[in-house]
């Protein structure tokens, strides 16, 4: 009888331990995915940022958008909307669509950000107004900017690994933006100024 009870206790212990291990594995797996996805879709909090130089404060023309890659790999559209002379002339928004992760681009002629994968449309402040992101009420959350001694600076998450040699910087040329999500180059190769080849 005592052996039966001991055997039952052992089996129940092994079963519970297996379930706990499976749960920990699932939580770990989904947790890692969420962290990776979150780094591209949601800018860091003010406690977890570093200020990086982007360009001179008048380095972007009104109506123009440049692409910037942060030190942790996220890509950001920095768009100039006015010429008052301060950081508020600009808006910095993630280029990764919150729907399924394609690359969002500024369209000066339409005064909107556009995601070609499923016709997602965002207004100049980053609010989704059409397509799947609009239906889901999603936003492109803003990165903080400021102007210091005539230089435009952006607050971005630090490199993912402490020994990484990633500095971030403006994306030059017509290389297609890489990032999470399917077919980020669907609409061709984005160029400085928001036009697409």
Residue numbers of the site for ligand FES (CB under 6 A)? 97, 99-100, 102, 115, 117-118, 120, 131-133
Quote the least distance from Cβ 63 to ligand FES, whole Å: 23
168 or 184: CB nearest ligand FES: 184
71 or 133: CB nearest ligand FES: 133
Quote the least distance from Cβ 139 to ligand FES, whole Å: 13
Quote the least distance from Cβ 187 to ligand FES, whole Å: 11
Give the Cα separation of 96 and 130 in Å (integer).
Answer: 16
Quote the least distance from Cβ 30 to ligand FES, whole Å: 21
Looking at the DSSP assignment, which residues form a beta bridge with residue 77? Answer: 67, 93
50 or 100: CB nearest ligand FES: 100
Q: What one-character-per-residue DSSP string does 112-138 give?
A: EEEETTTTEEE-TTSBEEEHHHHHTT-
Q: Which residues contact 47 (CB under 8 A, 6 or more apart)?
A: none
116 or 168: CB nearest ligand FES: 116
Give the Cα separation of 122 and 162 in Å (integer).
Answer: 34
State phi, psi for 79 to the nearest 5 degrees.
-120, 135
State the Cα angle at 176 between 170 and 177, rounded to 5°. 55
């Amino acid at each position: 009888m005592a052996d039966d009870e001991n055997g039952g206790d052992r089996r129940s212990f092994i079963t519970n331990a297996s379930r706990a291990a499976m749960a920990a594995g699932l939580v770990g797996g989904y947790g890692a995915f969420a962290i990776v996805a979150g780094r591209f879709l949601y800018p860091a909090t003010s406690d977890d940022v570093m200020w990086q130089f982007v360009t001179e404060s008048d380095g972007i023309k009104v109506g123009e958008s440049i692409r910037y890659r942060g030190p942790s790999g996220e890509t950001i559209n920095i768009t100039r909307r006015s010429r008052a002379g301060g950081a508020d002339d600009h808006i910095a928004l993630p280029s990764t669509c919150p729907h399924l992760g394609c690359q969002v681009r500024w369209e000066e002629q339409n005064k909107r950000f556009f995601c070609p994968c499923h016709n997602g449309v965002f207004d100049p402040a980053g609010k989704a107004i059409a397509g799947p992101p609009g239906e889901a009420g999603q936003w492109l959350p803003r990165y903080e900017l400021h102007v210091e001694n005539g230089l435009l600076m952006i607050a971005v998450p630090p490199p993912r690994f402490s020994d990484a040699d990633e500095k971030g910087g403006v994306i030059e040329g017509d290389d297609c933006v890489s990032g999470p999500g399917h077919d980020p180059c669907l609409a061709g190769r984005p160029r400085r100024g928001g036009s697409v080849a």
